[in-house]
């Protein structure tokens, strides 16, 4: 794809990205913006998401919202749809990570993980799906994790929530497919963002890299590229899938 074609890939497309203040979400928003889309960024860090949006484009929209707040999430999605005049692509990226041994895991920690990593996807999909159906189609991409397939000790609540993302994705794909809406999930491997870096030592990072046939971790840009592909016309026949971006750490 030429540089000019890349800049026009999503021209006129309206994209909503949650958890977009930094890390993978910001990288996804940047990739869409660089390829011609107009993007609305949602994040609970209102100050940071505003700065990120300002850095991306003059017409990028920043909305501060804590996705644990169901009514607030609905209101934020309504605001994003109003600002963009609709939505062609939704990327559900917002998430948190924590490690707690199973026998020490409290109910409130379990609930918190699901309240951020899974439950908001129901509300965001319900908000955009009618708009996409009326428009004749659309793209939804949900961020899962390789932990949904091969979680490690201490990740019971995280892995369970991310597995739920894949299940939700499949059912949404079945129900929305007849209306031309594709729904897919992306399962990144270990990407050294600020969220992940705070939970791993240098030795652990080296250990993760060694698990990949490529011998390295994945980059934000590599994850964003797969998300953009799923949102593009090239992926029009792809729905209900969970795409691994793990450098071969997971091969199923």
User: Any idea which residues carry the catalytic annotation?
Assistant: 158
Contact 80, 106 (CB under 8 A): no
Burial of 172 (0-12, 13-18, 19+ CB in 10 A): buried
Contacts of 68 (CB under 8 A, 6+ apart): 112, 115, 116, 120
Handedness of CA 6, 1, 176, 186 (dihedral sign): negative
Per-residue tokens: 251: 């091969």
């Amino acid at each position: 794809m030429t540089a000019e074609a890349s800049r026009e890939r999503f021209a006129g497309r309206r994209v909503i990205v949650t958890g977009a203040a930094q890390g993978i979400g910001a990288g996804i928003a940047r990739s869409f913006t660089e390829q011609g889309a107009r993007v609305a960024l949602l994040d609970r860090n209102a100050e940071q998401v505003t700065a990120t949006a300002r850095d991306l484009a003059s017409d990028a929209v920043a909305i501060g919202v804590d996705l644990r707040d169901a009514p607030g999430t609905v209101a934020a999605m309504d605001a994003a749809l109003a600002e963009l005049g609709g939505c062609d692509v939704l990327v559900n990226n917002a998430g948190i990570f924590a490690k707690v041994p199973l026998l020490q895991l409290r109910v409130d920690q379990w609930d918190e993980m699901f309240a951020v990593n899974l439950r908001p996807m129901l509300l965001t999909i319900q908000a955009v799906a009618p708009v996409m159906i009326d428009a004749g189609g659309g793209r939804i991409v949900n961020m899962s994790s390789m932990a949904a397939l091969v979680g490690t000790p201490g990740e019971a609540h995280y892995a369970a929530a991310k597995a739920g993302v894949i299940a939700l994705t499949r059912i949404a794909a079945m129900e929305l497919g007849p209306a031309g809406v594709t729904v897919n999930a992306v399962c990144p491997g270990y990407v050294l963002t600020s969220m992940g870096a705070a939970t791993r030592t240098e030795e652990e990072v080296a250990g993760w890299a060694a698990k990949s046939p490529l011998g390295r971790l994945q980059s934000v840009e590599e994850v964003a590229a797969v998300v953009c592909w799923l949102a593009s016309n090239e992926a029009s026949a792809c729905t209900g899938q969970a795409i691994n971006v793990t450098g071969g750490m997971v091969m199923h």
